[in-house]
Each structure stands twice: as structure tokens, then as C-alpha cells.
Structure 1
Amino acid sequence: MPTPQHPPAVTWRTHLSLALLATVYIFSYIDRQVVSILIEPIKAEFNATDTQIGMLTGLAFGLLYAALGIPVGRMADKHNRRTIVAICCGIWSLATIGCGMATHYWQLFIARMSVAVGEAGGMAPSISMIADMYPPKRRSLAISFFMMGPNLGVLLGLSIGGLIAQAYGWRAAFLAFGIPGILLSLIVYLFVKEPVRGAFETAAAQPGAASSAPQESLLRQSQRLLTMKPLRNVAIACGIAAITGYGYGVWAPAFFMRVHGMSIAHAGLAFGLASGVGAVVGAVFCGWLSDRLCQRDSRWQLGLPALGALISLPAGIAVFQWPTNAFWTLGSMQIPHAMLFVLIFAFFASWWPTLSYSAVSQMVSPSERGVGAALLNLFVTLLGVGLGPMVTGALSDYFAGTHGADGLRWALTSVVSLMVFTVLFFILALGPYRRRLGEMKLAAA
């Protein structure tokens, strides 16, 4: 068995495991986000309000995901993480198929909650595994490849989901993505190898927490980790950014359909490609850049997401405020100029999740990475998934009273503006993060 004195080599099997874990994450986001391109036909069939749709796309998913994420993270710190990921992938894939079989609003609501039950076990175990598969100097780039999952999920879910929905109906889109996920869960179980915990860290680099964590209750362990100022500030920054991200991601396709008059397939393809391509390139770029800049100053690990959030703010506002009569013509298709800002927003907004999860994996011991990632995911899920779409929908209903058809435009502009607080909390975390890494190095000396 590899030891901290003789760390394992990074081989093709390591990269294969990373690719499979990333594929699972892609499917989790396809299953999670495909509903956003299906909002209009679902709303029409069930005669739902924007607030009800916000509950369906956010609250139904977010509450259970948040409640189960930390216990599953704790489980991942004690048991085989590969098996947890494989089982959970199968569960959420079955639940996605259930979404496609719903005939009433509340059936779909319950099915969406069931998707959350499975997906709660995907993120934290995977982040914990990847951190043990690669050495610290390559960890941000490795996690950036994994974090392409949401971006590719948006691209595939919206573009392909929109085409399927237009041709065969919205239920077919759920079925088309749920069925392959069951096969993927079996592939992960058979081909992903469970890595040795802390294989790239020295024993001394796990100060006390490695031995004490198993004796702690989950509540006490979570409280102790949240007393760490850098982790707490990063979690708050990500939670606020997630309100913007999920509100934007769920409702922007509906905005282009309502305000720009795009069809479901047209909106899904254009928005999915612009968002997906921009975010995939941005996620890989920021991981590569972080690994290099952090060798000079560790604060770049959080300085880059602060910078990305700052640049994405005006780009996000421009998406919804750019004139609707400004567009390019591609054959018979009209592409709004606002799609350029979708691309820019996606590129820079992809920096905060990629680098934040990597930062948490650096500031906790290897035996607590599952819980650490789950805590960060709790803020992202509870605030972003739980509140983002619902708040945006409620604001849309509110602004509709004063701005009519432009209600969704002003709701999304308001939600995007919250990114200014994300920048603030990332800045507040810079100094404490560097001090935390210094403490861990001293403990390892």
C-alpha cells in the first residue's frame, strides 16, 4: 500500500478515474439543469406560476440535497467513496426517469426531490477522491477538469434537451438523460479505483484532525470546521454566488424565449453552447493559472475567483439589459448580441466554484475532505439551488406588476447584482487562507 513517504504515481488509471468521475458530474448537472429549458412547456401543462416553477427547480431539489450532503460527506470520509458515487448516480438517474413519467405538478415536485437524494452523494466523495489522486501542485487543475461537469452539463442539457423536447415533448428529455446514467453508475463501480487517503500528504500534515475527527459527532465536526475563518468566508462567498448562478442558469433560457422570442430548441442550443463553451474554457484556464500563480503566493487560490466574480458582474447585467433588436443573422436563425455576454459571463463565473472547492481541499486534512467539500456544498445548495430559482421566480412575478413582460429581465438583473457581495467575502478570506496554510506547514515540520 502506498504511504506518505512513498506516494503513488499519477498514471493512466488515475486519469481514467478522473474522467469517469467528471462524466458522472456532467450527468448529475444534466439531470439537474435540463428542467430549465423545459420551464415553458411544464408551466403551460401544469398552469403553474413563476413562483411555483421556482420552487420546482430550486426548493424541491435544494432542501433534500442540503440536508443529505454533509452526512454523505461524513460517510465518504469513512467508507469506500467509489461505491457511494456509483450508487448515488444510479439513484438520481432513476429519479430523472421518474420526472419524465410525472403527470401532475406534485408528482414532478416529488421526483425532483428524489433526484436530490441521489445527487447529494456525488460531489463530496468525488472531490475527496480527486484530492487523494493528485499531488497538491496539480490539484487545482485536476479539480478544474472535474468542475467542468456543471458547464458541460448545461451545454448538453440545454442544447440537446431543447431539441428533444421540441421534437418529442418535455418528458422525453428526462428519459433520454436518465437511462444512460444507470449504465454509467455500473461503469464507475467496475473501473474507478478507490485511492489511498492522504497519499500525497505527510502524516504530520494531518494535525490532530485525522485522529480526532472520527470520535467527533457530525455536528461538532461541522461546527469546528466552520470556525475556520477562511472556510466560512469562502462558503458565504460561494453561497451568494450560487444564488446568482442558479437563478441565472434556470431562468435565462426562459428569458430568451419570452423577451427575444426564441423557440425552445433555438434558446437551448444558443444559450447552452455560449454558456457551456465559455464555462468549460474558463474552468480549465483558471485551474491551470491557479496552479502556477499559487506557487508564488497562495492567496491567488481565492484572489482569482474574486477577480472572476468581479468581471462577471457587468457581463451578467449586460445579458439582460442589452437591446433586444441587436442580433446577428446566421442562416435563418437570429442570434442576439446578448449571447456574447453570456459567453463572457460563463468564462469568468466558472472561476469561483472550481477554485473554491480546491481551496477547501487544501485547508482541511485528508480525513476531512469529504465533510469539508460537503459543508461548502451546503451553502451552495441551500442558498443557490434552494433560493436562487425561487427568489428569481418570485421577483419575476413581483416586477411583472410594474414592468409587465420585462419582469423577468429585472428579476435576473437584480439577482446577478448580488455578485458584488461574493467579491467582498472572497477578499475577506485571502489573509486567513494564507495563514491557515502556514499553520498546516508548521504542523508538518
Structure 2
Amino acid sequence: MQVGQSSLSAGRTRLTLLLLSIIYVFSYIDRNLIAIVLEPIKLEFGVSDTIMGAVSGLAFAVLYSAVSFPLSRMADRGTDRKNIIAVCCGLWSLATMASGVVTQFWQFVVARMTVAIGEAGGTSPSISMVSDLYPPHRRSFAISLYMLGPHIGLLAAMALGGWIAQEHGWRAVFIFFGIPGLLLALLLYVFAKDPGLGVYDTDAERNIRAQPQENFFHAVAGIMKLRGFFLICMGTAIAGMVGYGYAIWAPTFMVRNYDMTLSHAGLTFGIASGVFAAAGSMFSGYYCDKLSQKDCRWQLRMPAIGVLISMPFGLAFLLWPADAFWQLGSLKIPHAIIFAAGFSFFNSWWPTLAFAAVSHLVNSFQRATSIAILSLFLTFFGAGIGPLLTGTLSDLFSAGDAGEGLKYAIAVMIALSLFSVWFYYKAIGPYQQRIASKVSDNDKTAQSYNNKADCTSDNNSSTSTT
């Protein structure tokens, strides 16, 4: 059984990964800028926390989920993934800029949903492409580098976005961060290269890929039936619901609870969360590659462990006394920010490792579609339900104090992480069985094709003799 080799040079491979990673940074920035400017947008348009939670999440999630499937299917059928990503990057960047020039709330909603349409063609083709840039034993670490995007994006959106909003207003934030995406789309189109589908497939996997492909609905049904896939999706969905609810509302919690300005809250939360989440993502990807070579179960053990350890850090961040802080010049730095950093480090394990697990679970021609399905769970429950549920709970708990209500709303969300741990734990056994059966099926398929080739060769010989 042979494994392929990429035709791209090491330099072109690294450049392609770098551009994809930077595009993902701006994808996450454009998607989550609303977190740092949520309060001034709410005040300008006169809407509730519940409405803002719906717009920041559900309006985005619905279109993202609907459009991601046809685009991922195109990627799995051999359409140049680089071109898909470049076009979509340009679209969401223009829509982000449009978010900053709207004059009515319904226009803002339309702009945010257009961002979702563009971003639907980003993550799935990108992870599929990264999986073909590097061999399986280096895949988790390569994906962890790509998955730095949300963490660097969080740092930039919170720190720089907060300052821009403070100095120039919330509209300038969207315009400022939308412009670089147009340049990145052009750079990707000109300088990057799609390595080709299934570069590191074995001979047996190539033979499977050469067979006539199922239609879209049969393909999705087949992926959903894979051992452990649904459990991974559910673990990721709940982890995403908690993570998005926390990330979208935490800066607003700091503004309300610590009486901070937008720029102060954004800078403090962005640095603590962004830096430590990036470190956690790289650590988990590198270390998981090491452990999984000996035992594939670590691919799901590590995200379960990370989510479990992150929970007390998140609760401590919320419940630590508001009057405990360090004085750094004229700035007050809450003691609780240490716990926000700890939460971010451990809670950053699951995105990298869950996406990498799915890339191992499926064949190359199923990869973008399977990532789209996983992204559907993550986006609908995470980006869609997470901020909305957090905002609704905040309104429910805020009878007298909006800051206290939001605190307990986020705490309830963090407690839901236990369900994510349970789903990842339950997926470990089926995942191990699937990986073992995939190796076995590939061996059987290779033998079957070899036998057919032998029979064809014998028949041809007999015909020639006759």
C-alpha cells in the first residue's frame, strides 16, 4: 500500500498554508467584530440583548449552514479549492465593509447574512486543502496552525477593534477590517496552489475515489453513518455553543461588571484570550500528533480533557470579585483575567482536534463535505444558538442588574460544557473502531482491485493465445 507525495515545493506548501491561515484570521475577525461593538450597535438601533444575540449568531448561522454544503461538495468533486476560497473571501470582505455604512437595522442584518454567505466557502475547502498539503502524521499540527485564525482574530478584533470603536465609532471598525480581505483574496488567487485532491491517499483509497460518486444526499447520509461522526459533531456543537456564547458576550460582561471602556475591555480580554488560546491550539495539535501515532484514541481524549479543565477557569473568571485588580499606570487590570487566559488555553484544544479527527475519519473525496457537516453543527449551535441563548438568559436574569444577569447567563452556558465532554468521551470507542475498519477496508479494496487486475490480465492473455 503506497502513500502519495505532494508535487508542491516546500516553499509553495508553506506559503499556501500561511495565506489560508491569514485569511481565516480575517474570516474570524469579520465574523466576530460584532462582539466588541455589540453595545453601541444595540444603543444606536434600540434593540434588546435577545435581538442582538440573534443577529450576532442566528442570522449568520442560517445562511452559512445552507450555503456551505454546495460549496463543500464542489470542493470534494475536484473544483479548484483555492479559487472557491478566494472568491468567497472577497465577498465576505465587501459585506463586512457594508456593515459599517448601513443606516437601518434591517440593512445591518442583510450585511451580516451576506458575510455568512461568503464565509460558507472558507473553512471547509480550506481544511480539506490543508489536509492535502501535509501527510496524516503531521495533519493535526498543520490544522492547529490554520486554526490559530480564531485566536489571533480574537486578539485583533478585541484589542484593535475596541480602540478603533472608541476613537472613531463602531462603523469604522467594519470598514477597517474589511479592506485587508480583498487584498488577501487576490494574493491567494495569484500565489497559492491547490495541491490536488487526495494527495496522500493510499492506492486503495485512490481506487475507491475512482469509483462513481454518490449524489449529495447519499453522500451526506453515508458520512453521518460513520462510526463516531455524529458524537463528534454533538460534542463540537455544544463546545461551540459555550465558546461562542462566552466569546461574544465576555467583553460586554467586562464593560458592565468592571465599568470599563470598550477599548480597555477589548484590549485586556483580547490579549489574555487570544495569546493563550493560540498557545493552547499549537500545543494540542503538536502533542496530539505525538500521542495519536501510538494510540488514535488521544485524538478525542484530548479535546474532552481540555473542555473539562477549562470549566473551572471560566467560572472563576465570572465569579471573581470585581473589586480585585492590579493598577497598571492608569489602567485597572482585573485579577479575573488570569482565569480568562486559563479558560482560553484549555478550551482551544477541541476545535483543532475535532476537525483533525474528522479528516482522519473520512476518505479524501468526503473531506470537505464532512467538514461542512461538522461546521454546520458548530455554526448553528455555536454561532447561532450560543449568543442567542446567552442573550436570552441575560435578559431573563437581569431583573435589576444587567451586569449580574449576564454573569449568570454565561455561567450557565459554561456549565453546559459537561455535555460536550460526555459526547467526546462516548465517541472515543466508535472512532477507534472506524479508524481500524478504514485501514482494513482499504486493504481489502486494494486486494480486490489487484485480483481484478490479475483476472483481466489472465483473460487478455487467453484471448491473445486463442
Shorter-chain-normalised TM-score: which range?
A: over 0.9
- How far residue 338 of structure 1 moved from its aligned partner, in angstroms, is 1.2
CA–CA separation in structure 2 for the residues paired with 1:170 and 1:404: 22
- How far residue 10 of structure 1 moved from its aligned partner, in angstroms, is 6.1
Does structure 1 retain, via aligned residues, the 8 Å contact 2:6–2:195?
Answer: no
1:165 paired with 2:165, answer yes
Percent identical: 46
Q: SS in structure 1 opposite 2:326?
A: strand
CA–CA separation in structure 2 for the residues paired with 1:357 and 1:424: 18
1:12 paired with 2:8, answer no
Does structure 2 retain, via aligned residues, the 8 Å contact 1:316–1:416?
Answer: yes
CA–CA separation in structure 2 for the residues paired with 1:247 and 1:405: 15
1:95 paired with 2:71, answer no
- 1:137 maps to which residue? 137
- How far residue 13 of structure 1 moved from its aligned partner, in angstroms, is 1.1
1:391 paired with 2:411, answer no
CA–CA separation in structure 1 for the residues paired with 2:9 and 2:294: 24
CA–CA separation in structure 1 for the residues paired with 2:311 and 2:5: 45
- 1:72 maps to which residue? 71
Q: Which of 417, 423, 426 is 1:425 aligned to? A: 423
How do 1:53-202 and structure 2 match up within 5 A? 53-78=52-77, 79-202=79-202
Does structure 2 retain, via aligned residues, the 8 Å contact 1:132–1:196?
Answer: yes
Return the letter of the residue paired with 1:243.
Answer: M
5 and 19 in structure 1: CA distance in 2 versus 1, 3 angstrom threshold: closer
207 and 363 in structure 1: CA distance in 2 versus 1, 3 angstrom threshold: farther
How do 1:36-435 and structure 2 match up within 5 A? 36-78=35-77, 79-205=79-205, 208=208, 210-211=209-210, 215-401=213-399, 405-435=403-433
Does structure 1 retain, via aligned residues, the 8 Å contact 2:322–2:334?
Answer: yes
Return the letter of the residue paired with 1:298.
Answer: C
- Listed one character per residue, the Cα deviations across residues 127-152 of structure 1 (whole Å, up to 9, x for unaligned) are 00010110011100000000000111
Name the TM-score, length of structure 2 as normaliser. 0.92
- How far residue 66 of structure 1 moved from its aligned partner, in angstroms, is 1.0
Tell me which structure has the larger Cα radius of gyration.
2
Does structure 1 retain, via aligned residues, the 8 Å contact 2:237–2:382?
Answer: yes
Does structure 1 retain, via aligned residues, the 8 Å contact 2:89–2:185?
Answer: yes
- How far residue 55 of structure 1 moved from its aligned partner, in angstroms, is 1.1
Return the letter of the residue paired with 1:325.
Answer: D
CA–CA separation in structure 1 for the residues paired with 2:125 and 2:240: 20
- How far residue 226 of structure 1 moved from its aligned partner, in angstroms, is 0.8
CA–CA separation in structure 2 for the residues paired with 1:444 and 1:215: 17
201 and 169 in structure 1: CA distance in 2 versus 1, 3 angstrom threshold: same
Moved more, 370-379 or 398-407: 398-407
- How far residue 215 of structure 1 moved from its aligned partner, in angstroms, is 3.4
Name the TM-score, length of structure 1 as normaliser. 0.97
189 and 206 in structure 1: CA distance in 2 versus 1, 3 angstrom threshold: same
- How far residue 102 of structure 1 moved from its aligned partner, in angstroms, is 1.1
CA–CA separation in structure 1 for the residues paired with 2:415 and 2:227: 25
- How far residue 444 of structure 1 moved from its aligned partner, in angstroms, is 2.7
- 1:441 maps to which residue? 439
Q: SS in structure 1 opposite 2:83?
A: helix
81 and 6 in structure 1: CA distance in 2 versus 1, 3 angstrom threshold: closer
> What is the total number of aligned residue pairs between the two structures?
441
CA–CA separation in structure 1 for the residues paired with 2:81 and 2:58: 27
- How far residue 404 of structure 1 moved from its aligned partner, in angstroms, is 5.1
CA–CA separation in structure 2 for the residues paired with 1:345 and 1:32: 21
253 and 6 in structure 1: CA distance in 2 versus 1, 3 angstrom threshold: closer
- How far residue 56 of structure 1 moved from its aligned partner, in angstroms, is 1.2
How do 1:14-33 and structure 2 match up within 5 A? 14-33=13-32
Q: SS in structure 2 opposite 1:48?
A: coil
Does structure 1 retain, via aligned residues, the 8 Å contact 2:7–2:195?
Answer: no
- How far residue 242 of structure 1 moved from its aligned partner, in angstroms, is 0.7
394 and 122 in structure 1: CA distance in 2 versus 1, 3 angstrom threshold: same
Does structure 1 retain, via aligned residues, the 8 Å contact 2:394–2:402?
Answer: no
Moved more, 278-287 or 393-402: 393-402
CA–CA separation in structure 1 for the residues paired with 2:345 and 2:261: 25
84 and 183 in structure 1: CA distance in 2 versus 1, 3 angstrom threshold: same
- How far residue 403 of structure 1 moved from its aligned partner, in angstroms, is 5.6
- How far residue 434 of structure 1 moved from its aligned partner, in angstroms, is 1.1
Does structure 2 retain, via aligned residues, the 8 Å contact 1:205–1:443?
Answer: no
12 and 271 in structure 1: CA distance in 2 versus 1, 3 angstrom threshold: same
CA–CA separation in structure 2 for the residues paired with 1:5 and 1:239: 33
- How far residue 402 of structure 1 moved from its aligned partner, in angstroms, is 6.5
CA–CA separation in structure 2 for the residues paired with 1:11 and 1:70: 31
Does structure 1 retain, via aligned residues, the 8 Å contact 2:6–2:133?
Answer: no
- How far residue 6 of structure 1 moved from its aligned partner, in angstroms, is 4.8
Does structure 2 retain, via aligned residues, the 8 Å contact 1:8–1:200?
Answer: no
Does structure 1 retain, via aligned residues, the 8 Å contact 2:147–2:351?
Answer: yes
300 and 394 in structure 1: CA distance in 2 versus 1, 3 angstrom threshold: same
Q: CA RMSD in A?
A: 1.4
Return the letter of the residue paired with 2:192.
Answer: V
Return the letter of the residue paired with 1:284.
Answer: M
- Listed one character per residue, the Cα deviations across residues 156-192 of structure 1 (whole Å, up to 9, x for unaligned) are 0111111111110000000000011111100000111
CA–CA separation in structure 2 for the residues paired with 1:244 and 1:6: 39
34 and 241 in structure 1: CA distance in 2 versus 1, 3 angstrom threshold: same
Gaps spanning 5+ residues in structure 2: where? 444-466
- How far residue 5 of structure 1 moved from its aligned partner, in angstroms, is 4.9
Return the letter of the residue paired with 1:16.
Answer: L
Return the letter of the residue paired with 1:299.
Answer: R
- How far residue 440 of structure 1 moved from its aligned partner, in angstroms, is 1.5
